[in-house]
């Protein structure tokens, strides 16, 4: 495990509040981030990944559970969706009492849940032009190809959630589902970003993990005018389960800590690149990305 060093210090300007900063006083509230996501029993993706990332990025994690999946490295074997009013209730309860500095979505399971999430977020002041930063990760399927919502879900996502998003973070399968654009080369990511932004989000971040022939792993951020490449090496490992969730939740953590969207996106890319670099085998197939690299080392004695 690596501690903090020049090598793994985050790039770009410093966040307003450093990791774990509570002002040194027990009555000072740390930044908080809300994940609206499903549970992965394998602990690699879903809300488990998000909470772990929030913690290691110095942010208190809040949760609205959307579904429980029966999942391991072989696939998603079963699931039970949470009733939409319970999902909305979780969002409203934590927003009203504890306060949300940034929010993100993961698996949203159904059109009914998506509509309830959009309404609850609107009531809580999450998303929209002047609202609390809202990261929409349009998780459509698990990495094994198991759908995590259906066509009605896709329509509801377009209709209710994309116009509220501060930033949309699709992988290349989700780009195809949302726009019909097939991205097979890095140069095609710009057209995809333009088409995605027309669906309503303020920023778009197109993730490049699936371009496996590309020797680098360069994500693309677009704000409607400027394209910003987020460069990084492509680490040679089969174990990338949860990379998308780690990227989106680190980005959300950056926003909760007061970073600009540009800086939070760079922070997210830096975080996930290290998480993939330290990923590990576990189970029969694709193992999880790591958060251990970010955990403080224990004292010698």
Return residues touching ligand ATP (CB under 6 A): 45, 143, 171, 207-210, 217, 219, 232, 234-235, 240-245, 247, 269, 272-273, 276
DSSP label at residue 202: S
234 binds, among ligand ATP, ligand HMH, none (CB under 5 to 8 A by kind): ligand ATP
Name the minimum Å distance from CB 95 to ligand ATP: 26
Name the minimum Å distance from CB 213 to ligand HMH: 22
**Closest residue to ligand ATP: CB criterion:** 209
* Interface segment toward ligand HMH; rule CB under 6 A; list 40-48, 158-166, 197-205, 269-277: 40-48
Q: Tell me if 180 sits within 8 A of 155, measured CB to CB.
A: no
**One of 33, 35, 36, 46 touching ligand HMH (CB under 6 A):** 46
40 is a contact residue toward ligand HMH (CB under 6 A): yes
User: What crossing angle do the helices spanning 84-97 and 111-124 adopt, rounded to 10°?
Assistant: 20
In three-state secondary structure terms, 168 is strand
Angle, CA 37 vertex, CA 271 and CA 164 arms, to 5°: 85
Nearest Cα neighbor of 249 from 148, 135, 166, 156 is 135
In three-state secondary structure terms, 6 is coil
Q: Tell me if 75 sits within 8 A of 47, measured CB to CB.
A: no
Name the minimum Å distance from CB 217 to ligand ATP: 4
Q: Tell me if 85 sits within 8 A of 76, measured CB to CB.
A: no
Contact positions toward ligand HMH, by CB under 6 A? 37-40, 45-46, 69, 71, 106-107, 139, 142-143, 244-245
């Amino acid at each position: 495990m690596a501690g903090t060093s020049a090598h793994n210090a985050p790039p770009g300007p410093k966040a307003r509040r450093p990791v774990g900063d509570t002002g040194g006083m027990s009555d000072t509230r740390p930044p908080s981030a809300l994940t609206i996501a499903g549970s992965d029993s394998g602990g690699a993706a879903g809300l488990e990944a998000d909470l772990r990332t929030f913690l290691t990025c110095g942010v208190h994690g809040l949760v609205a559970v959307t579904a429980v999946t029966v999942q391991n490295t072989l696939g998603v074997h079963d699931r039970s969706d949470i009733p939409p009013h319970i999902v909305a209730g979780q969002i409203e309860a934590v927003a009203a009492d504890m306060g949300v500095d940034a929010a993100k979505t993961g698996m949203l399971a159904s059109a009914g849940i998506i509509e309830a999430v959009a309404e609850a977020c609107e009531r809580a002041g999450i998303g929209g032009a002047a609202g609390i930063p809202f990261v929409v990760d349009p998780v459509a399927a698990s990495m094994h190809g198991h759908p995590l919502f259906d066509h009605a879900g896709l329509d509801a996502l377009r209709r209710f959630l994309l116009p509220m998003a501060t930033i949309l973070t699709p992988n290349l399968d989700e780009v195809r589902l949302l726009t019909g654009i097939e991205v097979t080369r890095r140069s095609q990511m710009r057209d995809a970003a333009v088409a995605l932004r027309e669906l309503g989000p303020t920023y778009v971040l197109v993730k490049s993990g699936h371009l496996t022939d590309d020797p680098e792993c360069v994500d693309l951020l677009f704000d409607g005018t400027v394209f910003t490449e987020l460069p990084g090496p492509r680490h040679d490992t089969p174990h990338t389960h949860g990379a998308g969730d780690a990227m989106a939740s680190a980005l959300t953590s950056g926003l909760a800590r007061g970073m600009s969207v540009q800086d939070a996106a760079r922070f997210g890319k830096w975080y996930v690149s290290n998480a993939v670099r330290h990923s590990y085998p576990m189970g029969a197939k694709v193992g999880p990305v790591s958060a251990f690299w970010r955990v403080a080392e224990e004292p010698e004695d």
